[in-house]
Amino acid sequence: MSYFCSMESNRQKKIASVLQEDLVNVLQSAARSGQLGVIISVTKVNVTVDLSIAKVYLSIFPTDKRDTLIEGIKSNTSIIKHELAQRTRHQLRRMPELQFYIDDSLEYIDHIEQSLKGLENPMNSPDLLDKRKKK
């Protein structure tokens, strides 16, 4: 069974970096060719200790297309993996299995910033109080 270690080896970091760079190119060119009008960012790639699995975290804008796009990406994982294997054939002997996840950390940060700016101030919008009540 493969697992992720908190201390990544240099090899894991190098493979993650290579995959991240090439995945950006593959996914953005697919989005451009499909004329989807979206931005897909590969925010992080984590590779297991045995180098068999790569967890890929994606940030997709606009967010209203996020769920549809991530499902499309997941259903085309084998095509993406093949394209990556072609690009990295001189750097990697074996292509890890790709697992795609949504990275919503930027959205979370934006929500915190909006809250700190007072845009969700219950004094200005009393209807927000209902959201804050404990159940």
Q: Tell me: the pLDDT tens digits for 61-118?
A: 888 888 888 999 999 999 999 999 999 988 888 999 999 999 988 777 777 877 777 6
- 123/13: higher pLDDT: 13
Name the residue type at position 111. Answer: H
**H helical segments located in 38-102:** 66-75, 77-87
Q: Among the listed ranges 15-19, 29-33, 98-102, 130-134, which one has the minimum average pLDDT value?
A: 130-134
The first and second tokens of residue 108, run together, are 């979370």
Measured CA to CA, the distance from residue 122 to residue 131 in angstroms comes to: 10
The per-residue pLDDT of the chain, averaged, comes to 83
Band (pLDDT 50/70/90 cuts) for residue 2 is very low
Beta bridge partners of 102: 58
Burial of 48 (0-12, 13-18, 19+ CB in 10 A): middle
CATH class of 10-103: alpha beta
Instruction: Enumerate the CATH 3.30.300.20 domain ranges in the chain, comma separated.
Output: 10-103
